[in-house]
Chains A and B, each alone.
Chain A
Amino acid sequence: MKAYVASVGLEKVGDHWSESLLDLAVGASLKALDGRKVAPQQVIVGNMFSSAGARQEHLGALLASSLGLKGTPAYKVESACASGSTAFDVAYTMVKSGAIDSALVVGVEKMRDIEPEEVSLALAMAESVEYTQFVGASFAALNGLLARHYMERENVSRDELSALPVLSHANAVTAEHAQFRKAITPEVVSRSAMVADPLRLFDCAPVGDGAAAALVVNENAIGRAKSGLAEILGGAIATTEFSVYERKDMLRFEATEMAFKRALEQAGLPASKVGLIETHDAFSVVAALSLEAMGVSKRGMAGKDAKEGRFDLDGDIPINTFGGLKARGHPVGATGVYQIAEAYLQLTGAAGKNQAKDLDYAVTQNVGGVDTSAVVHVFGRAR
């Protein structure tokens, strides 16, 4: 059976002082449901830390009851920063198999109701409490360790690394749902405050609230009409050694390698056909290592490729076409669904000023931890 994304709903990422976690989730859900006359047979919420961020759990039932979907199975899926895409993968697997015909996937995160150091602690929970948190290492610290290793071993310059956040910011200027719609220069990155040496503020995705929804359907739910659909051609999740510092080669994003390979195999698509990638640029170094793991760039070359324009909207293979995690924003548990919604907008020709040309296939790559979990999906135009 074929599975499709039939519609999406996006809340702007940012400081939603007047909206609660539930308000955001309902807002994105209604936008996705309004587009189609399909009642979801399940509601699956992707979220990382609503317990810390809003002192609220049981999000599935909370959202379903607020949407008036009495009787509908509903639950939350958690896999750190990959929660959104993991929730989507559960929906895709069930809808593709025919076990159910439709599911509403909603990624949501409320990060701004708590203090910044509480956000750091909540994010650090994606890492070992006994060996990473215990020594005082935040998530940014792990990525700082990784970035130095990358720059020293692969001889990568500050400016090459900066090209990745510069690119994401350039694409966000015309993205209505992006948190920071402002272009930046490499100097803005290299002069910004040090967070975890050598990573600076503009190497790091911001903190923000957000929610994104996608309605997943199969042919039983949607009939033969193919307008406004993006087909889900493949999807895979992979995990590897839990903490980045215990891996033989810290610079190899093996979870992404495995998930990318499996998802493309499932789609029956050679890597050369992939026309666009929404990649996980939570930190500049993570974007670089992700692109290298997917074989888009050679080792140590991702920043250089970005600098030369290979990943621009009109380049060889556009990436992060609405600003990525860095500029669209990274409401962690929602991020994977934002990426999928953006791939949908691109493949249905609804990306407006951010539209990539002549696009047939798009890939989304979302990771939890420092590539501890990786989730990759492959999408194509509905035929």
Chain B
Amino acid sequence: MAIQFWRIRDRYYRLMGNRCDDCGARNLADKDMPRTGKILTHTQLHEPLPGFESEVPLNLAVIELQNGARVLAQIVDTPQEKIETGAKARAVIRRVRVDGDSGQILYGYKFVVE
């Protein structure tokens, strides 16, 4: 299944995306997104999806980037008490998981609190 993620690797590696601000449609050319933003809300997940067992509990947050775009991402390398609403966060590239079928290592964006 890794191919469905390989296909959009630029989005994962370079934090690219697109969306029409008026109607929400997504058939535009991808643009680089700003790599910093602030935490809008966060959670700590105790029951992982398959492939994420070793990372429990998993910190996740909705980050509002400087241009207003939102991204759902893991928060890593951050002391628990610093993960709070309004905290500034910066995108980093990290290993996400190993694909179960092919063994390929998938990389993508995660965020650290500054």
Contacts and interface: CB of A to CB of B under 8 A. Distances in A.
Interface of A: 116-118, 120-121, 124, 129-138, 140-142, 144-149, 152, 193-199, 241, 243, 245-246, 250
Most A-side CB within 10 Å, residue of B50, B51, B61, B72: B72
Contacts, number: 113
Contacts of B46: 193-197
A118 B8 CA distance: 25
A136 B97 contact: yes
B85 A136 contact: no
Dominant SS at the A interface? Answer: helix
Nearest to B11: A130
Given A196-B46, A197-B43, A245-B70, 19 more contacts: A117-B53, A120-B49, A130-B4, A131-B71, A134-B108, A135-B72, A136-B48, A138-B45, A141-B43, A144-B43, A147-B43, A148-B42, A148-B85, A152-B85, A196-B43, A197-B45, A241-B24, A246-B70, A250-B40
B44 A194 contact: yes
Nearest to A197: B44
Nearest to A194: B46
B70 to A, nearest CB: 5
15 contacts: A120-B47, A120-B50, A135-B60, A135-B110, A136-B49, A138-B45, A138-B47, A141-B45, A144-B60, A145-B43, A149-B40, A195-B45, A195-B46, A246-B19, A250-B40
A298 B59 CA distance: 31
Contacts of B106: 134
A216 B45 CA distance: 42
Interface residues on B, range: 35 or more
A349 B42 CA distance: 45
A146 B44 contact: no
Nearest to B86: A152
Contacts of A199: 43
A149 B61 CA distance: 11
B74 to A, nearest CB: 6
A130 B8 contact: yes
B42 A196 contact: no
Contacts of B41: 145-146, 148-149, 152, 250
Contacts of B30: none
